[in-house]
Amino acid sequence: MHSWQAGDIEANGIKLHYTRTGGNKPPVVLAHGFSDDGLCWTPVAEVLAPEYDVIMVDARGHGGSAAPEQGYGPAAQADDLAGVITGLGLRCPALLGHSMGAATTLALAGMYPELPGAILLEDPPAWWVTQPEQSPQDEDLQVRRRLSLMALQQKTREQLIADQHAQTPSWSDAELGPWADSKLRLSLTIVNRSGSAVVDWAAILPRIRCPALLITADPEQGAIVTSESAAALQALVPQLRIAHISGAGHSIRREQFGRYMEDVQAFLAGWQPQQ
């Protein structure tokens, strides 16, 4: 069993839950995707923990964190994560985010350019070229997401694992268990996008000054970021490096774990955290 520390912290006015591998090592904060939670990063944390203090944060409405009615856009989630970083006293951590968590990471690095030491982005929504869905136009999408999540929560953990394994046979058992647990723990409030502040991506992204890595995969297999949208992000964040991993869709690390960890570890090895 892991001797990892689980804790709660008050940040941005709500309770946020995290799991931390610990140790006097450079901090790496992990931000999960929509409907996942912090422990979905467990396989990644196990690889990184010998060299880094890994902090896996549950976003609001996910895992053990509070689930307010609103605040599920990237600006509020960036404020949440910034509160965790400052509340835990983390000095210029690296941030690795997937999907929604990658959007949170991008927003944080633009809104709080002094906070991150480096950012790593796993297939974020390409909101720098296409605006995110906004209520009320996206009410149908919110309804569909809510119904989909409700259907998942009516299944047992064993059913969830079996069904997901059938859909994604390349995922390891180490990925399937935390994925299923996250679906049973989340709050349905996470589909609520009403009242979310609109992020001016073109204005904030050029403010990013830390090293940055974008990890992309194959759009024909479900990945979001295309070569065109990757180039558009690089135009806004000139120091951005791009690592393409073929043979994977949106959940890059779950489908090509070895290659993914090679790219992450190589980037982190070249990152010089401030002491």
pLDDT tens digits, 235-270: 999 999 999 999 999 999 999 999 999 999 999 999
Strands (E), 160-236: 212-216
> What would the pLDDT profile of 65-122 be if each residue is shown by its tens digit?
999 999 999 999 999 999 999 999 999 999 999 999 999 999 999 999 999 999 999 9
User: Considering the domain boundaries, does residue 166 fall inside one?
Assistant: no
| pLDDT above 90 for 197 | no
**Burial call 21-45: b when 16+ CB within 10 Å, e when fewer:** beeeebbbbbbbbbbbbbbbbbbbb
| pLDDT above 80 for 217 | yes
SS3 content of the chain, % helix, strand, coil (to 5): 45, 15, 40
Torsion of CA 105, 109, 112, 115, to 10 degrees: 90
User: Considering the domain boundaries, does residue 221 fall inside one?
Assistant: yes
pLDDT more than 70, % of the chain: 96
User: Considering the domain boundaries, does residue 235 fall inside one?
Assistant: yes
> Domain tally for the chain?
1
User: Considering the domain boundaries, does residue 274 fall inside one?
Assistant: no
User: Considering the domain boundaries, does residue 275 fall inside one?
Assistant: no
Q: Which helix (H) or strand (E) holds 17?
A: strand 14-20
pTM for the structure as a whole? 0.95
Question: Residue type at 84?
Answer: V
Lowest mean pLDDT among 58-67, 146-155, 223-232, 245-254: 146-155
| pLDDT above 50 for 136 | no
**According to the model, what pLDDT value does residue 89 have?**
97
Residue 226: φ, ψ to 5°: -95, 170
**According to the model, what pLDDT value does residue 274 have?**
60
User: Considering the domain boundaries, does residue 87 fall inside one?
Assistant: yes
Average pLDDT over residues 30-35: 97
User: Considering the domain boundaries, does residue 162 fall inside one?
Assistant: no
Q: State the residue range of the domain holding 230.
A: 5-135+193-269
| pLDDT above 70 for 32 | yes
**According to the model, what pLDDT value does residue 132 have?**
57
Report the mean per-residue pLDDT for the chain.
94
More confident of the two residues 272 and 73: 73
**According to the model, what pLDDT value does residue 131 have?**
66
Instruction: Using alpha carbons, select from 174, 168, 149 the residue that is nearest to residue 62.
Output: 149
User: Considering the domain boundaries, does residue 32 fall inside one?
Assistant: yes
In which band, very low, low, confident or very high, does the pLDDT at 64 lie, cut at 50, 70 and 90? very high
The CATH number for 68's domain is 3.40.50.1820
